[in-house]
Amino acid sequence: MTENPPSRQAWVILVVGVLSQMAATVAITGPAFLIPYMHTDLGYTLTQAGTVAAAPSFGLILTLIAWGAFADRFGERLAMTLGIGLTALASGVAVAVVGSPVWMVIIIAASGAAAASVNSASGRVVMGWFPRHRRGLAMGIRQMSQPLGTSVAALAVPPIAASDGFVGYLWFVVIVTGVMAVICLGLVRDPPRAEAAPSPVGTSTDDSRPGPTSAGGEVETPPSTSNPYRMDSFLWRIHAVSALLVIPQFAFSTYGLIWLIANQHISAGIAGGIVAASQIVGALGRMIVGGLSDRLGSRVGLMRVVAIAAMVLVAAIALISLTPMPIVASVVFILAATVSVADNGLAFASVAEAAGPQWSGKAMGMQNTGQFVMSAILGPGFGALVTVFGYPLSFALVAIAPLLSLGIIPKRDIDRIT
């Protein structure tokens, strides 16, 4: 049986989804690269500067599920256009309050809250336009946008701040997000919406309870408006698995640089290059793993492989932490950091497929919220672990997270979209 390739419109949607997510990521992560400028030039205390830097993420957490519900109800085109447009507006308003840390936190948080629309809606629209045998690749590519957007912010924001200060950065965000709002309005098209979701691929997540059957013995299609969270435990389990697997991801992305410098005695410049390389390889890894899940016909099966690899590599980092081995540490760190993000596209594809066309926005909002909340907890949490127990034991404890996830990953995929 010949499988139809994705349409030209699907690829256009994917490109716009990636670019819009990159623009939103620049708005969300950009303030973190301005902490030195806020402290030295604006006179903010480190606490104030850090609060401004974290404000977009707090705004994001508060509105992810709401934007997902908005996209489910009114469509992805309106959600993306309105959200990224409001991000531009909030950034423009922030220009007038740069001198006030309190108002900066409020307005920058509002900017992050608006940018959350892209996190929920862009994934939803990509899933809606691509057939199942290409969704893994499409979501893998779409998930590359966040590390790429962070890289753009890391490269662009410091020189902009050095030349034109925080105001220059804010106008940069206004331009980037404003242009993307126009592009979203002009190019995004909501995918066709099915009246009812087709029969799931596989059965319930414990493989012991078949779905309702018709008189002829065939599995009946549940209404697309039914709450998928009440149908089975699949979505809850994927959310839990993703929350566990984000633990090593966050540990590497946040503390990897200082681990390479303090524990492995690698120079700051080389350590920064290693971290940058891990981000690039990790972005490519998301795309490769997503495409592989299409070829294998399974998201959760490959997710299990990723979890095992993450457990092994994090344990290796714990062992390497016992003594400096700079070359080995560099190679293993890049591999571990790459594997730690490889599940992202798989999880988002699984969530969207299991949620169905009427719930995928809310479900992806829930998925994002859980990961961001876990990341917020891990910030001080892992730092406290290292302070008390040191790097070897701290990373050994982190390796427990992917081990626990192996008992939660569902046995089979569920698809209520196609």
Q: Tally the C-alpha atoms within 13 A of residue 314's C-alpha that lie toward its C-beta.
A: 28
* CATH code of the domain made up of 8-187: 1.20.1250.20
Cα 5 from Cα 67, distance rounded (Å): 30
* CATH code of the domain made up of 228-405: 1.20.1250.20
Could you give the angle at which helices 76-94 and 101-129 cross, rounded to 10 degrees? 160
Mean of pLDDT values over 68-86: 90
Cα 315 from Cα 309, distance rounded (Å): 10
User: Which segments of the chain belong to CATH 1.20.1250.20?
Assistant: 8-187, 228-405
Tell me: pLDDT of 254 over 50.
Answer: yes
Mean of pLDDT values over 36-64: 81
**Mean pLDDT rounded to a whole number for the chain:** 83
Answer whether 64's CB lies under 8 Å from 365's CB: yes
Residue 82 binned pLDDT confidence (cut-offs 50, 70, 90): very high
Mean of pLDDT values over 174-202: 76
Residue 281's pLDDT is 87
Tell me: pLDDT of 317 over 90.
Answer: yes
**Greatest mean pLDDT range, 118-132, 245-259, 402-416:** 402-416
Cα 206 from Cα 183, distance rounded (Å): 43
Residue 199's pLDDT is 41
Tell me: pLDDT of 89 over 80.
Answer: yes
Cα 399 from Cα 312, distance rounded (Å): 8
Question: Percent of the chain having pLDDT more than 90?
Answer: 31
When mean pLDDT is compared across 173-177, 226-230, 289-293, 377-381, the lowest value belongs to: 377-381
Residue 193's pLDDT is 63
Cα 342 from Cα 303, distance rounded (Å): 8
Residue 41's pLDDT is 79
Tell me: pLDDT of 202 over 50.
Answer: no
Three-class DSSP category at 186: helix
SS3 readout for 188-219: CCCCCCCCECCCCCCCCCCCCCCCCECCCCCE
Answer whether 72's CB lies under 8 Å from 362's CB: yes
Q: What are phi and psi of 149, to 5 degrees?
A: -65, -40
Please count the other Cβ atoms lying within 10 Å of the Cβ belonging to residue 214.
Answer: 9
Residue 2's pLDDT is 52
**Greatest mean pLDDT range, 55-59, 217-221, 240-244:** 240-244
Residue 214's pLDDT is 33
Tokens, residue 208: 């012991």
Residue 179's pLDDT is 96
Q: Which tens digit of pLDDT belongs to each residue from 319-339? A: 999 999 999 999 999 999 889
DSSP letter (8 states) at residue 220? P
Mean of pLDDT values over 354-378: 81
Residue 244's pLDDT is 92
Cα 414 from Cα 201, distance rounded (Å): 5
Tokens, residue 320: 């390497």
Residue 290's pLDDT is 84
Mean of pLDDT values over 247-267: 86
C-alpha dihedral over 69, 74, 80, 82, to 10 degrees?
A: -110
The one-letter code for the residue type at 121 is A
Mean of pLDDT values over 369-380: 77
Cα 167 from Cα 87, distance rounded (Å): 15
Q: What are phi and psi of 398, to 5 degrees?
A: -60, -35
Q: What is the DSSP string of 243-286?
A: HHHHHHHHHHHHHHHHIIIIIT---HHHHHHHHHHHHHHHHHHH
CA distances from 149 to 30, 157, 283 (A): 9, 11, 11
Length of the chain, in residues? 418
Q: What pTM was estimated for this model as a whole?
A: 0.73
Q: What are phi and psi of 219, to 5 degrees?
A: -70, 125
Tell me: pLDDT of 161 over 60.
Answer: yes
Answer whether 142's CB lies under 8 Å from 56's CB: no
Residue 216's pLDDT is 35
